Chain A
Amino acid sequence: MSKMIAGRLTRLALTLLVVSFVTFVGVNVLPGDAINALIPIDAQQDQEFVEQVREEWGLNDPMLVRYGRWLGNAVQGDLGDSIVTGRPVTDEIVHRLPITLEIMFVAVGLSLLLAIPLGLLSAYREGRRPDRVISGVAQLALSMPVFVTGLILIYFFALKLHWFPATGWNRFSKGIGPNLKTVALPAISLAITEAAVYTRVLRSDVITTLKENYILSARAKGLTDRYILFRHGLRPSLLTLVTVVGLSIGTLIGGTLVVEYLFAIPGLGRRIFSAIYQRDFMMVQGITILITAFYVIVNTVVDLAYMVVDPRIRRTS
């Protein structure tokens, strides 16, 4: 068991190493010289000055040397300075990360809140009207791109009904009410698609579970349907649900990026977007690594949790 955990952690570290290297090479190989972001074009006439700046930022060293230097600092929590604003990348990430995380957490929470009852009901009434309605709606929700859902919500709830602001963000420090008002629409637009995915997974999982013998014996004992559904039907499926949530983090990150763009929210997604435009390679690198690390770590934790809880997996792999 501990050997397996060690193996997973080594793989985690290796993946992060490779991803950081690929990002680094990618940023440096693609067209667009970093010097253009550092000095305005007309100031580049002065060759001596340009050379001086290049030297200062270490742009003249071979790529591997630069990567090594960056990596050495990165493991100590220093992701370098933004070449556009001059501020440390780490500071900017720390400043913006809570916003992105809040949207993601609220979205996942909302989708689970929707998906668990809907999935259970759908499985319990398999093939009948509630199931058909829920499955149909889920299929439709799956077909809605996040930005379309977001625009529809903006149109009705912000522009027509004025319940929520159409764009912008209120930090937590402004109070919970204003904060929740700005998180509502972005989170709901993400949650609709997510909930559809979770509902479908939960439904098919519970349907399989309900065919097990122990469900039959629970029925024979005279337990109520509700008790059986929640205690015997839902519990084994919770694990699957956790895995699916872990796997969907990747899509969720992409979705959050789009939603931050749509609602003009100053989170990490919007920042990486502007950083890419400004050729701010330090910022791009930092945020990409952070996002990937988050994604890989979540999945490793989910895998490990799965192994701890379910002894069958421990034996087979």
Chain B
Amino acid sequence: MSSPSSVTAVGGSATEEEHSASSAGRVIRVLRAFAKMPWLTKLCCLWLMVVILTAALADLIPGLADPNHQGFIFGESKTNDGPSASHWLGTDNVSRDILSRLIYGARVSLIFAISGVSIGVFIGCVLGSIAGFLKGSVDSVAMSVVDVMLSFPALVGLLFVSTMLESRSLATLCLITAIFIWPRFTRVGRAAALSVAGRDFVTAAKAIGTSRRRILLREILPNVFPAVLAFGLVSMAILVILESTLSFLGLGVEIPTASWGGMIAQARQDLLINVWPLIWPSVTLIFTVYSFNNIVDWLRERVAVRSAAL
């Protein structure tokens, strides 16, 4: 708790050790940290790995149905069918394989969350460091923009922009989301930069005449990055929820592309006939978000991650 924001690895090891350690040693350290987790957190890690791997390799999984294949047209399967050998999780109300749609839907969620977080972390680090280190007019301009952006209820803004768009591809969705999430990251980055800028090693660097550019790149940025990244991890869960909410409202990726929120919206129509199409995506969604939250909480207990401006 005493060393603020110098979050390196899970084990919180010193940087010199990190450099000298072989890759095998690093693997062992990660495994050891994994072994120390509570069983629930282990389960969450495994679950996320399964979700990420299946989503990434979905095209290579043998026997996985096409997510948009409507079996009843070809007399292969029934609509609203319960779990069976050919469709492990059953079929939805237009007889598409639910498992396959879940896996392809994970892709949408993960790409959305990861790209949103990446853009946020990038802008947060760069802009936050500059604002927090240079202070003065750069800082006040950046922060007033951030303040105005934050006073805009994000979901309302997002809905507004995405309905106005003529087409909603995943890429445009990620971009407009980035518009609404960068201010929070910048705030976190600036807060970290402010605290780093006051530390002795920065004063020392200034004293020996290091250029401001070099201080920014070599001293400030590397120390701001972990704090912003930690905030990014917290945001993963929020972004997954956001994506599913947008899809549920019919403002996410365009149908028939599979997404968890879209599946839930569709299952809602036949709630009394068949609950399975509602249960599967809901459980998947909740457990995925829960896994992110659980792992972040576990990390937070271990390393003093500042969760400011959450």
CB contact under 8 A between A258 and B249, given known A139-B290, A272-B156, A296-B151:
yes
Which residues on A sit within 8 Å (CB–CB) of B280?
Answer: none
State in angstroms the CA–CA spacing of A155 and B276 once bound together.
12
Bound CA span A154–B163, Å: 27
Q: In whole Å, how far is A100's beta carbon from the nearest beta carbon of chain B? A: 12
Are the C-beta atoms of B271 and A155 separated by less than 8 Å?
A: yes
* Contacting residues, chain B, for A288 (C-beta < 8 A): 156, 160
**A73 contacts chain B at the CB level, 8 A cutoff:** no
Q: At the interface, yes or no: B88 with Cβ under 8 Å from chain A?
A: no
Contacts A15-B151, A145-B244, A146-B245 given; indicate if A276 touches B297 (C-beta within 8 A). no
Which of chain A's residues have a CB closer than 8 A to the CB of B151?
A: 15, 19, 292, 295-296, 299
Asked whether, in the complex, the Cβ of B156 is within 8 Å of the Cβ of A159, the reply is no
Contact between chains at A257 and B152 (CB < 8 Å): no
Q: B49 on the interface (CB 8 Å rule)?
A: no
Instruction: Flag if A254 contacts B148 (CB, 8 Å).
Output: no
Name, among A140, A148, A151, the residue most crowded by chain B CB atoms within 10 Å (CB to CB).
A148
B159 within 8 A of partner (CB): yes
Does A30 lie at the interface of the complex (its beta carbon under 8 Å from any beta carbon of B)? yes
Closest Cβ of chain A to B167, distance in Å, is: 10
In the bound complex, what is the Cα–Cα distance between A288 and B163 (angstroms)?
A: 15
Between B159, B161, B166, the greatest number of chain A beta carbons within 10 A of the residue's beta carbon is seen for: B159
Q: Which residues of chain A come closer than 8 Å to B289, judged between CB atoms? A: 143-145
Residues of chain B within 8 A of A15, CB atoms compared: 147-148, 151
> In the bound complex, do residue B297 and residue A139 qualify as a contact, i.e. CB atoms below 8 Å apart?
yes
A145 touches B285 (CB 8 A): yes
Size class of the B contact interface (CB-based, 8 Å):
35 or more
A223: CB under 8 A from chain B?
no
Assess whether B122 is interfacial by the CB under 8 Å rule: no
- Cβ A257 vs Cβ B159 within 8 A: yes
The interface residues of chain B lying within 8 Å CB-to-CB of A276 are 159-160, 163-164
Chain B contacts with A in 106-137, Cβ cutoff 8 A: none
Knowing A15-B148, A139-B294, A155-B271 are in contact, say whether A148-B160 is a contact too (CB < 8 A): no
Chain A contact residues, majority secondary structure: helix
B241 CB contacts on chain A under 8 angstroms: 145
Answer yes or no: B192 CB below 8 A from chain A CBs.
no
User: Which residues of the partner chain B approach A140 to less than 8 Å between Cβ atoms?
Assistant: 286, 290
Q: Closest residue to A154 on the B side, CB-wise?
A: B271
Is B163 a contact partner of A277 (Cβ separation < 8 A)?
yes
- Name B140-164 residues within 8 Å CB distance of A: 147-148, 151-156, 159-161, 163-164
What chain A residues lie within 8 Å of B264 (beta carbons)?
147-148, 151
A26 B244 Cβ-Cβ under 8 A: no
CA distance A288 to B161 in the complex (A): 12
List chain A residues, Cβ under 8 A from B156: 253-254, 257, 272, 288, 291
CB distance from B55 to the nearest CB of A (A): 19
Instruction: Given contacts A148-B286, A254-B155, list 10 more A-B pairs with CB under 8 A.
Output: A11-B147, A19-B148, A19-B151, A22-B148, A22-B152, A139-B297, A151-B268, A257-B156, A273-B159, A292-B151
A-B contact list, 18 entries, CB within 8 Å: A19-B151, A22-B152, A26-B160, A31-B164, A32-B164, A143-B290, A145-B245, A145-B248, A145-B261, A148-B285, A250-B154, A253-B156, A254-B154, A257-B156, A258-B249, A284-B160, A288-B160, A295-B153
Residues of A in contact with B (beta carbons under 8 Å apart): 11, 15, 18-19, 22, 26, 30-32, 139-140, 142-148, 151-152, 154-155, 159, 250, 253-254, 257-258, 261, 272-273, 276-277, 284, 288, 291-292, 295-296, 299
Per CB-CB distance, the 5 closest pairs between chain A and chain B, nearest first, are A254-B155, A143-B290, A30-B164, A143-B289, A276-B163
